[in-house]
Structure 1
Amino acid sequence: MACAIALKRQLGLTDFKIFEKAADIGGTWRDNIYPGASSDSAIHYYSLPSDLSADWPSTHGSQPDTLAYWKKLAEKYNLYEHIAFNHLVISAEWDSEHNLYHVVTQDALGIKSSTTAKILISALGILEVPRYPDIAGVESFRGEHFHSARWDTRVALSGKRVAVIGNGASATQFVPIISRDPTTQVTQFCRTANWYLPNIRSDFSPWAKWVFKNVPFALRFNWWFEWAWHSTGFPLSVRFSRRSLLDRVKVTAVESHMTKNAPKECLSQIIPQYPPGCKRMLLDTDYLSALHRPNMFLNWDGIQSIYEHGIVTKTGQKLPLDVIIFATGFVTDRFPLAVRGVDGETIQDYYDIQGGPKAYISTTVPGFPNFFMLAGPNTATGHNSVIYTESLQINYVMRFIQPIIAGVVSTFEVTRAATDLYNDKIQQMLARSVHTSCMSWYRVGGTGRIANIFPGPGTLLWMWTRRPKWEDYRVVVGTKKGERSRPVQRERIARFIARLGLLTLAVTVGIAFTGSLGRRCALDLLSRMLAGGLNSKLFF
């Protein structure tokens, strides 16, 4: 949705289609309806910079409030008319002869249809496909079971024996809520300890809401404050040295919070042996205090199998259960769409060859012209807002889309050499980071190459995305017939885009402040430049 809004706001483009496999918009905030679901980032920083809202009730957005925010934006920008709901993308294949993608989709009735597109954008994100653990006997369980990302609201937990498999971010949010009912016996199966940060969530006071709504630039100033605050999290979550005073203070502060709030008998198990920041650090939404409840149990034995009435631990103990909730995260090291490029290989084929997800600045992939992905490999951070990260990517992508829709450029394709060089650089940076110290979803298979985390602060990604390095792309411009193409000098592309922006500004001023003759001259100048493209004598 953020990309669609940018297409309309920045480029004035309306000729685009969004394929959505679900029946409504919302993505993460439509699917994750478990109790207590909310953002970890401050909600003003988790909002589009172009559409800040003064109506948030608290500092961190709940699932219903966040979903409502995106639905309002969909209505504001008339996005519904561009969305084909209940349409699953089956495949997208590049046609080198005509320089476009053939996209095949399937609706809810199983009927397939096809369309073509000059530009293909993947906006799936990385936390989209639930990951289920490979445990023997799941199919034999006679009770209810579901993944936390697909919460079954029909299942009542009151008076039940409930197993929660996993202790990551989602479980940390919903376990304190489902265990409030003393008749619900909750056994949480844990594999790895986590670092828990103090909960900084709070409701906005009426005064704060009034200021955000009535004082000019208050919302914008607050966004910049949140940006600066989150940026300070980079050295806290990435750099680690036992000789560093900052890191000793960090460990002491986090340990102090956990020691103060968790049961003493649990401390030896819940305090990690790896440094803070190696895995995602979790906000303590009353999770540690919930461990004091008599109906709340932690189990670190590991799961051997699931049988018809419950779980068998690796110590041989049989635990009878009524409900099993899988809070086991998402598939983050595979690409779910069958997108085929110039050589006939899919994105996943490319990932397999490279030993895991790999892209250039997390956005483009060699062998896949005019294909862009948001929240691609190495975009996640332990300190920043995914909305901010994706906004940077979107602005980057817009610079490629503009000359394509103007008919000037036929294709952009990142080179393999540039992709390899970029990934060698970020892997060298990550090798010196804290993320090599433990198993996490940041890494391929949990222990392999770090394919999901970005190696620097948000300002570094801003620097890398604010202006494309055209020399890292193979650029092809189409002739008027549209069937042939020829390579062009990349620096000419850069000059064209820069001057197109200046001319557009000049035309806008001309239209606004000159008479009818000036308007006609300005529009004629712009149309002749677009018609001439890169060869226009107005620019070269």
Structure 2
Amino acid sequence: MSTNEKLARAMDSLPLPDSAELSRALAEANVQTLLAAYAHLSRDFALLDRFAPHIKPAFSGEITVIPDDLAEELRGKMRHLLTTGEGLHKDAPSDALIQRIMSVTVGEAVEDEFIDAVFDQCGFRPWIDRSQVEGRRKPPANFKVLVIGAGLTGMAAATKLREAGYDYVVIEKNSDVGGTWYENRYPGVGVDTPSHFYSFSWEIWPDWTHYHPQGADMQRYMLAVADKYKLRENMRFGTAVETLVYDDKSGTWTVTVRNPDGSHEDIVANAVINGHGPVNRFRWPDIPGLNDFDGPVVHTANWPADLDVTGKRVAVIGTGASSAQLVGAIAPKVASLNVYQRTKHWVLSNPEIADDVSEGMKWALTHIPTYLEWFRFRVYWNAADGLFSNVLKDPEWEGNSLAVSAANEGIRQYALSHLHARMADRPDIIEKLTPDFPIFSKRIILDNGWLDALARDNVHLETGGIARILPNGVEGKDGTFYECDIIVCATGFNVAKMIGNLTIKGVGGRDLGEEWGEDDARSYMGMCIPGYPNYFHTVGPNSAPNHAAGQNMISECQVNWIIEALDRIVEADAKAFEVKQDAYDAWNRKVEERMPEMIWTHPGANSYYNNSKGRVFLSWPWRLVDFFTETRRPAEGSYDLHK
């Protein structure tokens, strides 16, 4: 069922009974979102205008205070519309009206450039359903696409390839879908991106239990999507891709996979979409003696299902996002916990990160037409491109060197105030945790019990570094020794080596592993490399939305672009699509020219966004809406079609 059909069916469900569930939903629903849904359904411009002076932008420093009587009037009007159907408009509103609703309900102008992206991503008008495009040439039956990985991007590719009529197979090394969320199961694992945005635009979910999903919530969503869209029919589990070799003459890839029984098999495909993701290959720390420890040594990304830390003495190496989530979850259970900090990180308070979605809110998301779509828009605006100003250097900024703009300094002060308030009686921890670089120049931590855990008597934060691991514990560089039962490495992933352990041979035997080396991956739009026709590397170099939420949107956009590229092959009776060298070169120059304007090139910034030479190889230096616009179709003149 298309999104438009879903909305039409929701409209047809009206009128609703005047029930206790409706009353609770109206009481608990977000007021601005309720206003958006009401204006969409009723075209009540007068009420929209009366709300406008009270709604302020999320990061303006001003507070939105909606008068109680105005909010109650809205609830009353919405109740009347929903229970009687009087004043309901079932026809689709104009773009101008949608834009007006958007601008009022987020308290700032939403410009024309956002309209197509919002319509697509929030489910009002999906960008394209290729099965419904009149005159589009259908892919031939013998044109096969192989997708590597059944995580977020691989599932998006499977859904849209099927919709577009392509024969495809997904190769997944795990026993089910989910990727990151199948593998990461450590206590406290969660998602920074708000639930109602971190999902597919064609399957916006009302069933989240938390406003920021825990890992199990995310995997539950992925499983539900796989079931609904019957994605497993074209998936092979327990199978790992090892080698990809391009044949110049046939324009095909021979993909060697290792089957569950250990045997090897060659699969010939016309095109390959690599969706194995950069946060898939976890990294162990290089610490002397790590392999000599007598107890369990585990990585957060490979947490044993039977590991019980209750009453144990635990050492956690690392203080990034995974560590913060884990420490917040296990600190009350362990006997003692030493946390070894290698790098400081900014910590932001998000009051709703641990909040459950109330029953009334769930009811509103499920039963009030357009409410779900409008709530997704609100989350996108405030958690994604609304944060972009934080990572863009202001050349006129004359403030301190720990910020790059007034907006960035405002967020920095907000983070500092949270740290000082939480640790008011622990100046020692404040000193240990306060970074000396701008906020957002590295990945931030959302506080979900992290600071509270560090303030506990059974938790100690070590900042002096580790000298070595002994069979019974951890020795610090200052000579201190911590005897422990379990060592947990929260030390991240080898993001920079983007092809992982794959061997990829292109035209004339070119070797992508040799060309990219250990950490110098480059591509066109995070997807294509000259010399590797019909090989599409998703979530590749300079395509990560490191300013905010949005990896789901990046994945969808790349899948859209790739299918457009495949359609060019079909339309031209060609064998292969290859990005031109000059387009590739121009794109990389554009990125390099842009990076000095971004926070990630600040002298204090050095993170996994940078390679060993300091180049920012990971981050997309523009907004999400810009990525959406750039990926509607391959630019004319940027590619060759080989026949």
Q: Give the TM-score band, short-chain normalised.
A: 0.7 to 0.9
**1:323-350 deviations in whole A, cap 9, x for unaligned?**
1100000011111121211032332222
Tell me which residue corresponds to 2:632. 466
Contact 1:356 1:451 in 2 (8 A): yes
Give the counterpart of 1:365 among 529, 532, 553: 529
Q: After superposition, what is the alpha-carbon deviation per residue over 1:209-247, rounded to whole angstroms, capped at 9, x for unaligned?
A: 111111222111122222211211111244364534323
How far off its partner does 1:406 sit? Answer: 5.6
1:195 is aligned, of 346, 350, 371, to 346
Residue in structure 2 matched with residue 83 of structure 1 by the alignment: 235
Alpha-carbon distance in structure 2 between the residues aligned to 1:213 and 1:317: 56
TM-score by length of 2: 0.71
Whichever residue aligns with residue 171 of structure 1, its letter is: S
Verify the 8 A CA contact 2:566 2:577 in the aligned structure 1.
Answer: no
Letter in 1 for 2:347: Y
Match of 1:41 in 2: 193
Aligned equivalents of 2:594, 2:513: Cα separation in 1: 25
1:442 to 609, 614, 621: 609
Mapped pair 1:204 → 2:367: no
Q: Which residue of 2 aligns with 1:95?
A: 247
Equivalent residue for 2:336, pick from 165, 171, 185: 185
| Within-5 A mapping of 1:192-341 | 192-199=343-350, 200-201=352-353, 202-229=355-382, 230-239=384-393, 241-243=397-399, 244-262=405-423, 263-334=426-497, 335-336=499-500, 337-341=502-506
Over the matched positions of the two proteins, sequence identity in percent amounts to 29
Distance in structure 2 (CA, Å) of the matches to 1:339 and 1:405: 24
Distance in 2 between residues matched to 1:186 and 1:374, nearest whole Å: 38
Alpha-carbon separation, structure 2, partners of 1:242 and 1:104: 56
Q: Secondary structure at the match of 2:256?
A: strand
Q: Which runs of 5+ in 1 are unaligned?
A: 477-484, 486-540
Work out the CA distance in 1 between the residues paired with 2:310 and 2:227: 38
Which one of the candidate residues 165, 168, 181 is aligned to 1:12?
Answer: 165
Distance in 1 (alpha carbons) for counterparts of 2:295 and 2:420:
36
- Superposition CA RMSD, Å: 1.6
* 1:45/1:223 contact within 8 Å kept: yes
Q: Is the 2:468–2:475 Cα contact (8 Å) retained in structure 1?
A: yes
1:425 and 2:628 equivalent?
no
Alpha-carbon shift at residue 405 of structure 1 (Å)? 4.6
What letter is aligned with 1:360?
A: Y
Amino acid at match of 2:349: P
Q: Which residue does the alignment assign to 2:554?
A: 389
Structure 2 CA distance for aligned equivalents of residues 234 and 340 of structure 1: 38
Q: Any idea what the Cα deviations from partners look like across 1:294-327, whole Å, max 9, x if unmatched?
A: 0111001111221211122222323222111000
TM-score, structure 1 normalization: 0.85
Deviations 1:86-114 (A, max 9, x none): 11111010000111000110112210011
The 1:162–1:372 alpha-carbon spacing in structure 2 relative to 1, beyond 3 Å, is same
SS of the aligned residue for 1:289 comes to: helix
SS at match of 2:509: coil
1:532 alignment partner in structure 2: none
Is 22-31 or 150-159 further displaced after alignment? 150-159
Q: From 553, 556, 574, give the equivalent of 1:409.
A: 574
Deviations 1:368-394 (A, max 9, x none): 100112211112223022101111111
1:222 maps to a residue whose letter is F
Contact 1:18 1:82 in 2 (8 A): yes
Once residues 508 and 429 of structure 2 are traced to their aligned partners in structure 1, the CA distance between those partners, rounded to angstroms, is 54
How far is the alpha carbon of 1:250 from its aligned partner? 2.1
Alpha carbons of structure 1 residues 66 and 248: separation in structure 2 relative to 1, 3 Å: closer
1:179 Cα shift? 0.5
Paired residue total: 472
Post-superposition offset of 1:12: 2.8
Note the alpha carbon deviations across 1:262-283, whole angstroms, 9 max, x for none. 3322111101000111101111
> Match for 1:461: what amino acid?
F
Match of 1:127 in 2: 279
CA–CA distance in structure 2, aligned partners of residues 395 and 40 of structure 1: 25
Tell me, yes or no, if the aligned pair for 1:189 and 1:300 is still in contact at 8 Å.
Answer: yes
1: CA distance, partners of 2:249 / 2:452: 63
SS of 2:585's partner is helix
- Given that 2:314 and 2:337 are in contact with CA atoms closer than 8 Å, whether structure 1 keeps it comes out as yes
SS at match of 1:203: coil
User: 1:515 maps to which residue?
Assistant: none
> Deviation at 1:427?
1.9
Distance (whole Å) between structure 2 residues aligned to residue 416 and residue 224 of structure 1? 38
Which amino acid in 2 is paired with 1:419?
Answer: Y
Q: Tell me the secondary structure at the aligned position of residue 170 of structure 1.
A: helix
Q: Is the 8 A contact 1:93 1:101 kept in 2?
A: yes
In 1, the alpha carbon distance for the partners of 2:373 and 2:589 equals: 37
2:76 aligned partner? none
The gaps in structure 2 that reach 5 residues or longer are: 1-154, 400-404
- What is the identity, as a one-letter code, of the residue corresponding to 1:246? A
